[in-house]
Structure 1
């Protein structure tokens, strides 16, 4: 996927190339159709800078890069258009409103399927299995998804910790090291606490996995693995369904590759739950 390629090479790009890259990722339709000269004029850089971006990403030239952009754009466009949704809630009467919301969620999930990078997902899965500890950060509205993942992952492995919705404690992260994983949930409007936690985790050499809406979000740029929900959707609201679906994918992967240890842990937990009489059924 083109956005993933940009993210992986972003730090090595020149300031002008970064401007072009961000423009194309955010305006994929224009990147798919405009010439290098036209993009340069829109962004405020030379045509040469646009062409050099293609070389920096490993393409043989601008036309080769544009072909990759066009494929990504068309796949996302087809995923949305196949749903036949109304263009906005303003055009929707009360009778159609709830159908509109569900159709939009379905379009976002279809886009999630199209953009899913399985190599990155398996990299995250292996990191969760091998880590000595997992620290989960979610602030403001992102805390709800972060807590869901915290509760679910705690059923599967030990040493799982979570931030508070308003911030994190330095005492909780002082033990992070190169064997640790920090998971950051960061969606618009991006909270400053996420960046602060990412920077501290980097200094302690922990692996950072970000759950965010686009590869080039503030936290997405810093993370070792960035898993995105609504890349290219231009959604006017954030979908919690897409986040939970992505987390379900991770949980399924962890179950698949760590069955025996998970089974042993869940047997111990069930024994404790039964002894405490926690559940009605």
Structure 2
């Protein structure tokens, strides 16, 4: 049954419906759209839109496809349950990322651009905000001026102007599905201003790719109601490692200074 949903970009509501059907694989084909809606806790029109998102003209056609697939419950007969399937998919994403990193040309190019930028803006809105903060926290230990932009609004373009005047030449943009329009607009404006934009996103054909100098794709997990960002997180840390490798002496000095300050201030228990 999972094959019916593979490759479809579903909203969180639609994923709830998919999850509901997978959990009831043995009886899903017998359920009406109203019954699916009640079980998933969504509206009946949402079930119809879900079927259309999968490429079917409506729920009856999807129901026929479910009947053709058949099969028992996802956790029957020793098969993986839905949660295990989601984690297995993440492991497959990481394996593909490992193979992709067989060539480090793009990562090294991105690292050279970012490590030379003073200041270094890091953009990550909505779903990408936690990743921007995570990257920025560690990057600030090896880069003298990291500016994390994880909230939108009219002042965002002002900050873009200010960073450029201060000398910024590159920007890291973390743009993940569902691709916030504001993120794409900021990246487009940054490119027009002369920034070299490095984008970490889910695909080489992501909407942000056309305005980025370097694209570092890393797939996101779509098996649960909300995306899993294991791949982009790994890519961000690989990029930070490459930045450290690109300028090792200042990086080592800053790390030693941080450790000395942390010990003096007793910042950590262990």
Structure 1: where are the runs of 5+ without partners? 1-25, 28-86
Aligned counterpart, 1:173: 160
Distance in 1 separating the partners of 2:240 and 2:160: 23
Q: Given the alignment of the two structures, is residue 108 of structure 1 paired with residue 120 of structure 2, yes or no? A: no
Q: Does 1:163 align with 2:143?
A: no
Question: Which position in structure 2 is the counterpart of 1:99?
Answer: 84
Q: Which of 107, 124, 144 is the equivalent residue of 2:110?
A: 124
Supply the distance in 2 between the matched residues of 1:91 and 1:261 (Cα, whole angstroms). 57
Instruction: Return 5+ residue gaps in structure 2 as ranges.
Output: 1-6, 9-68
TM-score (norm 1): 0.62
Distance 2:261 2:209 in 1: 39
1:136 aligned partner:
122
Q: 1:274 aligns with which of 252, 263, 268?
A: 263
> Secondary structure, in 3 states, of the residue corresponding to 2:81?
helix
Aligned residue for 2:267, secondary structure, equals coil
**Larger relative contact order (C-alpha < 8 A, sep ≥ 6)?**
2
* CA positional deviation for 1:179: 5.0
Q: Give 2:250's aligned residue.
A: 261
Aligned length: 194
Residue by residue, what CA displacement relative to the aligned partner does 1:186-222 show, whole Å, maximum 9, x if unpaired?
1111101111211221122011011111122211111
CA contact (8 A) 2:126 2:150 kept: no
Which structure is larger by alpha-carbon Rg, 1 or 2?
2
Partner SS for 1:169: helix
Cα distance in 2 for partners of 1:154, 1:132 equals: 12
CA gap of 1:187–1:230, structure 2 versus 1, over 3 A, is same
Per the TM alignment, residue 132 of structure 1 is displaced from its structure 2 partner at its CA by: 1.9
Conservation of the 8 A alpha-carbon contact between 1:179 and 1:207: no
Instruction: Find 1:153's aligned residue among 120, 136, 139.
Output: 139
